[in-house]
Chain A
Amino acid sequence: MNRKTGLLAAVFGTAMLISMAGASAQDAKEIEIAAVMPLSGPWARLGEESKIGAELAVKQINENGGIKALGGAKLKLVVVDGGDSPDKFKNATQRLVSEHPDLAGGMGAYVSSFTLAVTEVTERAGIPWLTLSYSPKITDRGFKHVFATSPTAVKQADDGMPAIIDMAKQATGKAPTTVGIVMDNTPSPVGFTKNMHGDGLKKYGLDLVVDEQFTPPLSDCGPLMQKVRAARPDFLLLLLTATPDIKLCLEKLTEIGLPRTRLPIVNNGGVLGSPDLLKVMGKDLLEGSIFITANWGAKGQEDFIKKFEDETGEKWVTQDSISNYGHVMLLAAAMEMAKSADPEKVNEALHSMDISDGAATFFPGGHVKFAENGLREEAPLVIVQWQNGVPVTVWPKESAQAEPVWPQ
C-alpha cells in the first residue's frame, strides 16, 4: 500500500514539477507557434523528422534576429505529441489552444486524418495552420485558416504518371508503354490508384498488364511477384506503406531476376525515403527505387541541406523535415508581412502571400501562393530515386540533384 502511494505520489509530483517548470519558462516577449506531430506510435519517426525541421527553422530565425517587423521578437516552438489516432490529436490540439491562447500559427500533423482532426480545432480557434498532408478533404471543408503546401493526393495521382513518363523519356529517350500495379489496400495507395485501374492509364499510352491488391501484412509475396514476372511491365507501381512488405517484395524481385536496374519500381509518399529504411533494408536492396513525393531536398538548397545535415545529424533532408522547415519560414514571412503576431493578421498575410524567394524556395516549384481554399497553387510533385545509398531528387529537371536512372 505504501509503495503504491509512494509511486503514485512520485508520478504526480514529477508531473507537477514539469508543468510548473513549463509555465515559468514561458516568456511574454516570445511569439509562440505550434507543431502537432505524431511523436509516439507507428508514425513517430516521421513526426520526429517534422519536428527536427521545424526546430532548425526556429533556431535559425532567432539567430538571425527574430521577426524584424516586430522588433526582433523571438519565435518559440511548442511541440505537442498527438499520439496515434484522430481523437487523441483532437484532444491534444484542444489542450494546446487552451493552454497557449496566443499562438500565432502552427503546423502538422503528417497523417491526413490527424490533420483533419487537428484543423477542426484550430479553425475554430482562428489559428492559421500549415500542413503537408495530401488529402483533398483538408482544403475541401471551406475552412479559412488551413494551408496545404503539398499537391493533393488526387493531383499527385493525376500528375504522377506524366511525370514518370517524362522522366523515363529524359533518361532513355523513349516512353514506357506497359505498367503493373501491386498495392496494399490502405487509404494512400487506394486513393492514388483510384482512376488507374482498368483502362485508366490508357490516356498516358500505358497498358496496365498486372493489377494486384492485398491486405497488409504480406506473408509471402512470391505468387504476386511471379505474376509481375509473367506480365513483365516496363515499370511497376509498387504502392506499399509497411516496411516489412517493402523489404519482402524488393528481395523477391531481385531473387527472381528483376532487380531495380531491369524493372524500375515506383512508390508514392515519403515512406520509401525514410532514413530508417536504409538501416532495415540495406543500400543494395533500395538502390534504384523511385518514389513520388510532395517535397524533398532539391537543387539550389545546397547551403541549407549542408547546414541541416550538420546541425541535426540526419543523413538527408526528407519531405517532412524540409516541409516543416518551410512552414516555419512561411509563418515568419507572414508575420513580417503583417507586422503582427496576431493569428488573424498572420492568416490574412498567408492568404495574400505571393512569393518566389525566401521561404518559397523550400517548396518544389519555388513559388508560394495559396488559393481561396488554402491549397497551394501550382504545387508540383518531385520524383526521388535511391542512388548510392541516398535518396536524391531526380525530377523535375530544375530541382534535380542527379540524373534519373532508367533501364534502356
Chain B
Amino acid sequence: MEKKRAALYRSLLIIFALVALCLLLSFATNNNYYRLMLAVIPIWAVLGISWNVFSGYSGLISFGHAAFFGVGAYTVTLGLVNFGLTPWIGVPLGAIVGALTAGLIGIPTFRLRGVYFALAMLAYPLSMVYVFDWLGLQEITLPMMRENGPAYMQFTDNRWYQVVSLSLFIVAILTCLFIERSRFGRSLLAIKQNELAAEACGVDTFKWKLYAILISGAMAGAAGGLFAVIQLVVTPASVFGLVISAQAMILTLFGGAGIIWGPVIGAAVLLPLSETLHAELGHLVPGITGMVYGAAIILVMVLAPEGIYWRINDLLKRRKVSETGDAPAPVAVSSRAPAMHETRRARSGEVLLGVDNISKFYGGLGAVKEVGFEIHTGEIVGVIGPNGAGKTTLFNILNGLIQPSSGRVVFNGIDITSLKPNRRCAAGIGRTFQVVRSFPRMTVEENVLIGAYVRAENEGDAWRRAAEALGTVGLTGRAHALAGSISTKELRLMELARALAGDPRLLLLDEPLAGLGADEASELTDILKRLASGGLTIAIIEHTMQAMVDLADRMIVLDHGVLLTEGAPEQVTRDPHVIEAYLGRKWAAKHA
C-alpha cells in the first residue's frame, strides 16, 4: 500500500512539474506565438487524455472523438453568438453536451465490437459535418468583446489562455490518474485485455464502458470548447474533421495507450515538432510538415509499437533486472494443503443450482437438448462426456455467456436465465475457462483483484480479498509477476484465484487440469478438495476420468447435447451407455 502511495505522490509531482515548466516557459519568452502554442498544446493533450480514458483503457478504438470535440466547440460558439453566454459557463456546458453526445453515441454503438465499433464511431463526426453544414453553421466566429474581454474569456495576453487550458489539463489528468488507480480503470483495462473474462468475473462491462465514454466525451467537449475560444473561428470541418479524431488517437498511440502519460508525451513531442517543421521548412517546401510528421509517427510505431512510454518502460525494467542480477525466478507453488478429508461429503439436500430443461440450438443443430439436473450445496459435480457433447456450451449457459433457446436456470431459488454474466458472478457463480483467459498486461495480483471487486466493500477490502485468494491457491510469491509471463499451471491457479476472490457459492471449472502434468494436476485437485471441504460447491468439466472419479461426488454425463445419465462416479463409469459414448458400442458390449 505504501508503495502505491509513493507512486501516487510521484505522479502528482510530475504533473506539478509539467504545469510549472509550461508556465515558466511562457514567462521566459515574450513571443506571443510561443505563448499561443503553450496554450494550445494542453488542449490537445486533454483531447488525447479523453481518447485514452475511453479507447486507451477499454481497447474499444474510437475514430470519432471529433464528434464530442465538435459539439463542445459549437456549444461554446453558439452560446456566445446567440445568447451572449460567456465561455466561462460555455466550456463546462460544452463538457456536459459532450458527455450527453457520448452517451447517445455510446449506448447503441457498444453492441459492436472491434473494427465494426471503430468504423461506426468514424461515421458520427463525418455525418455531423454534413448536419452542421446543412444547419447553415459553416463559418461561425466568436465576436470580439472589446470591453470586458476577460469576462468572455478573451485576453490580449496569450498567457491567460494558457492558464485556462492548463487548468483544464490538470482537471483532466487528475481525473485520469484517479481512474487509473481505481476499480474503474482496472475494470476498463480488464475489458481491453479480455472482455469475456472480465464479464465472467463480475465486471459490468457495459456500465464501465458507458462511464468511460461519458467522462471521455465530457473531456473532449471541454477541450473543443476551449479550442473554439482560442481559435475564434469554428467550421464543421475544423472541429468535426477526421484530423481531430486522428489527432486524439495519434497523440495517445504515439505516447502510449492505456497509461496516463501517453497522451501527455504525445502532445509534448509531436505538436512542437509539427509546428517547428511547419515554421522552419513550410515556406520552402509547402506540405513538408505532413510528410515529416507522418514519417516520425511511422518510425516510432515501428520502433515502439505500443508507444514511447511502454518502450522506455520495458527498457528501464530490463536494465533494472540486469542491474540487480536476479530476474524474478518462478517460485514454487506452496503445497501446504491441510489434511485431506477422505470421507465423502454428505449432500446437504439443499438445491443450489437448478437446471430446468435447457436447450440451445444453433440453426438446426442442437448443442444442448432438454438438459435438466440439480446441483446441491457442498458437492463436487463432474460434468463429463466426449468432445462435442455440449459441456462447455452448458457452462456458458450457466454463467450467462450464452442465452439458452429454451429452459430456465435457477440459482439459489432465483431465476437467473436472463441475467448477464457479471450479475451471475455477483449472485455467486464463478468460473474458469477451458483455455485460460487472463489479463496479460496486469500482474497476477491485479488479475485476481478484478475478480475481487464484485464482493469488495472498498479498494482496501478488494486488495485484501485478492491476497487471500492468492494465498488459498499458493500463488502469493508470484503476486507481482505479469500474467503474460507465468507458466500454464500458474495461469490455471491464477484464474482459480480470480474466481475465488469473488467469493462464489458455485464454482464452474472448465477443464482445470488440461495441459498439466500428473504432479501438477494432483496439486490442483488437492486444492479443489480443500475448497469443497470448506463448503464451496464445484462443477467441473474434465476429460481425465481418473481425476474425476477421485474428485467428484456425483457425475453428469452428456453426449450429443443430451443428458445421458447422472449418479455416483462408480455407478456412472460402469454404465454401458457411458462406455458406449466414450469408447463405442463394441467396447460397451464386451464389458457389459
Residues of A within 8 A of B (CB): 4, 11, 14-16, 18-19, 39-41, 44, 79-81, 83, 85-88, 90-92, 94-95, 97-99, 112-113, 116-117, 120, 123-124, 135, 137, 141-143, 185-187, 190-191, 215
Contact = CB atoms under 8 A, between A and B. Distances in A.
Q: State which size class the interface on B falls in.
A: 35 or more
Given A15-B281, A135-B139, A187-B139, A98 B32 contact: yes
B33 A15 contact: no
Contacts of B582: none
B16 interface: no
A190 B238 contact: no
Interface in B13-47: 31-34, 36-37, 40
Contact of B33 (A94, A135, A137): A94
Given A40-B286, A117-B231, A117-B233, A87 B238 contact: yes
Given A39-B286, A112-B139, A99 B33 contact: yes
Interface in B231-287: 231-235, 237-238, 241, 243, 275-284, 286-287
A187 B138 contact: yes
Interface stretch (B107-115, B129-137, B427-435): B129-137
B418 to A, nearest CB: 43
A81 B288 CA distance: 11
A98 B33 contact: yes
B33 A120 contact: no
B299 interface: yes
A71 to B, nearest CB: 29
B292 interface: yes
Contact of A215 (B130, B158, B286): B130
Given A113-B235, A124-B156, A190-B133, A15 B141 contact: no
B290 A40 contact: yes
Contact of A18 (B144, B232, B281, B292): B281
Given A15-B276, A98-B34, A91 B40 contact: yes
Contact of A113 (B143, B238, B303): B238
Nearest to A87: B231
Contacts of A44: 286-287
Contacts of A120: 141, 144, 231-233
B37 A91 contact: yes
Contacts of B37: 91
Main secondary structure on B side of the interface with A? helix
Contacts of A141: 141, 143-144
B284 to A, nearest CB: 7
Contacts of A41: 287
Interface in B28-80: 31-34, 36-37, 40
Contacts, number: 119
Interface in B149-165: 156, 158
Given A90-B233, A120-B141, A185 B134 contact: yes
B283 A80 contact: yes
B303 A40 contact: no
B227 interface: yes
A137 B139 contact: yes
Nearest to B235: A113
A30 B356 CA distance: 93
B582 to A, nearest CB: 59
B33 A117 contact: no
Contacts of B136: 190
28 contacts: A4-B303, A15-B276, A39-B282, A39-B283, A39-B286, A40-B282, A40-B289, A79-B283, A83-B278, A83-B282, A83-B289, A85-B243, A86-B231, A88-B278, A90-B232, A92-B279, A95-B279, A99-B31, A112-B139, A113-B233, A117-B231, A120-B141, A135-B139, A141-B141, A185-B130, A190-B133, A190-B138, A191-B138
A40 B282 CA distance: 9
Contact of A15 (B34, B138, B280): B280
Contacts of B233: 86, 90, 113, 116-117, 120
Contact of B139 (A19, A39, A85, A116): A116
Interface in B297-322: 299, 303
B144 A142 contact: yes
Contact of B32 (A16, A80, A97): A97
Contacts of A135: 139
Contacts of A113: 138-139, 233, 235, 238
B196 to A, nearest CB: 39
Contacts of B276: 15
A337 to B, nearest CB: 27
Interface in B348-399: none
The listed residue with most B CB atoms (<10 A of its CB), out of A83, A86, A137, is: A86
Given A85-B243, A190-B133, 14 more contacts: A41-B287, A44-B286, A80-B283, A86-B235, A94-B33, A94-B36, A98-B32, A116-B233, A120-B144, A120-B232, A137-B141, A141-B143, A141-B144, A186-B133
A4 B303 CA distance: 10
A87 B69 CA distance: 14
A187 B133 contact: yes
Given A15-B280, A99-B31, A81 B232 contact: no
Contacts of A98: 31-34
A26 to B, nearest CB: 14
A141 B80 CA distance: 14
Nearest to B303: A4
A187 B135 CA distance: 11
B312 to A, nearest CB: 13
Contacts of B275: 91, 95
Nearest to A88: B278
A173 to B, nearest CB: 39
A320 B34 CA distance: 31
A255 B287 CA distance: 39
A184 B303 CA distance: 44
Q: Which 6 A-B pairs have the closest CB atoms?
A: A40-B287, A98-B33, A39-B286, A40-B286, A15-B280, A187-B138
Nearest to B299: A4
Nearest to A120: B232
A95 B38 CA distance: 13
A124 B232 CA distance: 12
A71 B141 CA distance: 41
A142 B141 CA distance: 12
A87 B34 contact: no
